[in-house]
Amino acid sequence: MSVERHEMWEEDTAAYVLRALSDEEHTRFVRHLRECHVCRDEVDRLQFAVDALPRSVEPLSAPAGLKATIMAEVESDVREQQPAPSLGARLRERFSRVPALRPRVASATAAVLLLVGVAGGFGLSQVTDGEERSVDAAFDGTRVASGSGNLVIGGNDKAGGTLRVHGMPKLRANETYQVWLQRDGEVIPKAMFSVSDQGDGLTAVDDLDGADAVMVTREPAGGARAPSGPPLVTVKL
């Protein structure tokens, strides 16, 4: 790392720890951090100050009803806890509840959705540059007219990756985008994220080792335990 190259970035350290960089700048700075120990040290130092900021806030009590709402969701999750069925089974079960669809039609529809959403057919491409690889995301063109994005995966899949999307539909106040990981037929809930007015969003995706696909659905705020519909975004791995 040359001194000149480092100096290009050092002014960004504080904006980075305050989360005040744009999504693009943030991604570039994270890449720089991987190779610059000087900036990593400064980030660690400044992070100490940032971590103290929320402790300056006047202490308030959380509203009484909030705990009941959250624990009701938690208890419901625990009751439902059982080996998760595959996405196909979830979709078949979901469509079987639609009275207008006969079972054979519903089953065929779910299979088509799976083929469209999970198997792709949107023209995937992968670029490998040695240390990390970028996998293009495929979008459901009927719901995301002009979507684009990719998943940048570190050299070791276990380290996770960064999913970046553009052109996503705007969320309502009570909605979130949620990431799902498909592995060995199971669908695992992951991080939630929102998008800017321009439909740009960025989120980390961890635990990619052995994953078959990363998907994104639109869910109620707080997220869901199982996808509520076919994915808007699919990254086939």
Partner 1 sequence: MANLADEEIMHLVQESDPRAFELFYDRHSGPAFSLAYRMVGNRTVAEDVSQEAFLSIWRSKLRYQPERGSVRTWVLGIVHHRAIDALRRNTVHDKRRASAEGIEERFEARERTDVEVARRDEARTVRAALEDLPDEQCRVIELAYFGGFSHSQIADQLDMPIGTVKGRMRLGLEKLRRTLVGEPA
Contacts with partner 1 by CB under 8 A lie at 11-15, 17-22, 45-46, 48-63, 66-67, 69-71, 73-75, 77-78, 81, 171, 173-174, 176, 189-194, 196-197, 206, 221-225
3-state secondary structure of 169: coil
Contacts of residues 29-38 at CB distance under 8 Å and 24 or more positions apart, as own/partner, are 30/162, 35/1, 36/1, 36/6, 36/9, 38/1, 38/6, 38/10
Distance of alpha carbon 180 from alpha carbon 162, whole angstroms: 13
Least distance in angstroms from the C-beta of 182 to partner 1: 15
- In angstroms, how far is CA 138 from the centroid of its own chain? 14
Q: How many CB atoms lie within 10 A of CB 159?
A: 13
Least distance in angstroms from the C-beta of 24 to partner 1: 11
Q: Please identify, using beta-carbon distances, which residue of 183 and 225 lies nearer to partner 1.
A: 225
Least distance in angstroms from the C-beta of 130 to partner 1: 27
Distance of alpha carbon 86 from alpha carbon 18, whole angstroms: 40
Least distance in angstroms from the C-beta of 34 to partner 1: 16
Q: Please identify, using beta-carbon distances, which residue of 12 and 140 lies nearer to partner 1.
A: 12
Q: Please identify, using beta-carbon distances, which residue of 39 and 233 lies nearer to partner 1.
A: 39
Least distance in angstroms from the C-beta of 158 to partner 1: 12
Q: Please identify, using beta-carbon distances, which residue of 6 and 101 lies nearer to partner 1.
A: 6
**Phi, psi (5° rounding) for residue 102?**
-75, 155
Q: Please identify, using beta-carbon distances, which residue of 3 and 53 lies nearer to partner 1.
A: 53
Least distance in angstroms from the C-beta of 50 to partner 1: 7
Residue 11: partners with Cβ closer than 8 Å, 6 or more residues away? none
Q: Please identify, using beta-carbon distances, which residue of 35 and 77 lies nearer to partner 1.
A: 77
Contact 227, 217 (CB under 8 A): yes
**215 secondary structure, DSSP code:** E
